[in-house]
Structure 1
Amino acid sequence: MKTSEKLWIYSLVEAMPVALLVFDRDANLLAASPKARAMLLPISKGDNHNGSLENPALPASIRESLYRVLKGYSRSESGHATIANTRIEFTVADIGDVVSVAFSDPSPGYDENIDYLSIAAHELKTPLTAIKGGTQLLERTLLRNGDLSDRESKLLGMIISQVNRLSYMVDSLLDTSRLASGRIKLTKSDHDLRMIVQEAVEEVRSSIPGRNIDIKMPSHELRANIDPVRLSQVIENILRNAVENSDPDKAVLVEAYEDMDDIYLTVTDYGKGIQPKDSPHIFEKFYRGAECSGGLGLGLYISSELVKLHGGRIWFESEPGYGTTFYIAIPAR
């Protein structure tokens, strides 16, 4: 991990009002929030880039859970530890390049529903929006003036792609927090699902160019009472996941059809498939399977919760080595 990335993590965690530790993949402590330092770490503010799993201020239960997550035995673990004669709940989570340890706050009046990830996402949202808008404006201006070489154009495209990726991850964190607190409310109206599918496919095609996505839908309308923005988000999540984890030489197939009282949407890829040990956990928050290529492990969790809010069902069938099909059933109008 680059020094700039470590400093960014340190600055973000330093501003958090919750007790949080962040470790790199080698078990080195990258950052500790002020509350975590006061609770656990006998080190000064200037030294909190140092430390390891062997730090004696970490109770054994925390060290053991951290070890298992770092070694890949599990994606997240929750437990409790006794610190200064106070029972404190903790959660260890694998969130990509780093592993976090978050603690409940034993102080009076603390709302245990506060999600520290939501705090981080809110902190990131504003600067990301500014970066994204500024970069897009720069791209339009340079293209209009013809001042971009092929190399510069590719570099600017890479920057925009990575900003979009970060923005997607931040939005996922915010949605996860909103779902947990019941703050996502659907705005339903009557729609033809064929149009929603077509728009979602075009969005994924534009964000992941060069990949073949086939669509199979009937000529007649498939009408349902849905929130078009949220259902499109579900389709994009599943389709993006399929494209990123499948054979680039084979097309991903999206189908929509009506059967009895439901409208079915399916996304089929011909990639590595889902391993049996991962199958029970696919829709869990922060779960990333052994064959996962990246991300936070939130897309399928969010998709599952949004489908449930529509009164629908979501499931999958997979054969390792041959591919996966995800199914969504939404009540027809």
Structure 2
Amino acid sequence: MDAHAKQASVDADTEPFDRGSQLVAGLGPVVFNVALFIWFWGQWPVLLALAGVWAVLGFVNVWLVEWVSRRSGRAMAETVRMLANLAGSLVGGTATHWHPLAWVFVPYSLLLFSGMDRWVRLRTVTYLAGVAGVALGSGAEPGMSAAFLLLAVCGFLVSEKRITALRGVLEQVLRQREELEKTHQALARTHGALEAAHQELQQLHQRALEQERLSSLGMLAAGVAHEINNPMSFVTSNVHSMLRDLRDEPDLPEVMKEYVDDVLPATLDGIKRVNTIVGDLRRFARGDPEAHTAYELDTEVETALRIAHGQLSHVRVEKELGDVGRSVGRPRQIVQVLVNLLVNAGQATASGGEVRIRTRRDGDSIQVEVSDTGTGMSEETKHHLFEPFFTTKPAGEGTGLGLSVVHGIVKSHGGRIEVESEEGKGTCFKLRLPLVPPLLQYEPSTDGGMRRREG
């Protein structure tokens, strides 16, 4: 706090004290005026002058000083008070021929305008000089004048010393109040930081729980897929053997020819589909770190469609695969991205709606679009869409991690993801992935694949 502001604060804090002391000090003039009225009773010109002085000073001290203080400040108000008291002392002293009861007003008046501003001494000197000059010039007894003037000076100095001490106490209180306010603000900031840290820890804890749960589910899915894969191998082998043996049988009954021509081949196609789905599930659920490798994006799209089939059975699925060729990346992560987007699209789309996935090559990058005719999203939802733990699904139906993971995977591949959506008109996610992540040194090979750059 600067000096001017501190002075204003101290003045504001001492103003109630000044008003209280002025109110008590105002009882003195009443007593002195009553004594003067009794002493000069019958001398009507003197009484008339004293009554006029009393009325004017009462008006000035009770109303005018407060009015000036509100509009021009305390220093100006005290100056007005000093000038009024000076005029009153001169009129009263001259009218009573400087009677001792009139002289009493001189030291007592200093108590009424001994404020705490820097002009207090100048006002005091002006007041005493004016009284001394007029008193001695109008025939006042010099010894009495000197006595009351010295008493006024001593009384003023004692009063000033006390007020200075009070000022020091108030400044100390003000400093302590500032320190308490700073401490309170620091505690508030610390509390806010602790709250933010607590929330972050809760989010990290929740994320760890979700990751542990997803890891456990992945291990469970991989185990289930493995258990299914073993008996399916026997089934596949046995059906193949049965079909081969029936085809080699020369005298095959007519009823069995239908099995050879239709039933068993269709069964093998079904078994092949089951084996493909199991293989996709095992590859998708595998938890070991995945290295960058060359992959066919359109093949991974087919894999994602098979995995997400259960969430898309109520809608019409359209695919437009642009034969984009081979690219480099982590195919399991790419499948994870596509499955998440397809599942979200299916959950956001009512029965009979449409989900469309489209791929195309654009120079050195691949574009993937997953769109639906579902409920769409508001601008507020789109603003928070890729934040961890943000979800619009009911409690227990979503973790809010899916799209944040999608965003992280796309970024780690050097790509970007955009979303276009309007409430009631569906959503379209657009992915742009480079053929080769920027940190890898690969180039297309002559056989249509990818090879590491030399040099």
TM-score by length of 2: 0.37
Question: Of Structure 1 and Structure 2, which has the larger fraction of its residues in helix?
Answer: 2
Q: Which has the higher contact order (CA 8 A, sep 6+)?
A: 1
Question: Of Structure 1 and Structure 2, which has the larger fraction of its residues in strand?
Answer: 1
Q: Which has the larger radius of gyration?
A: 2
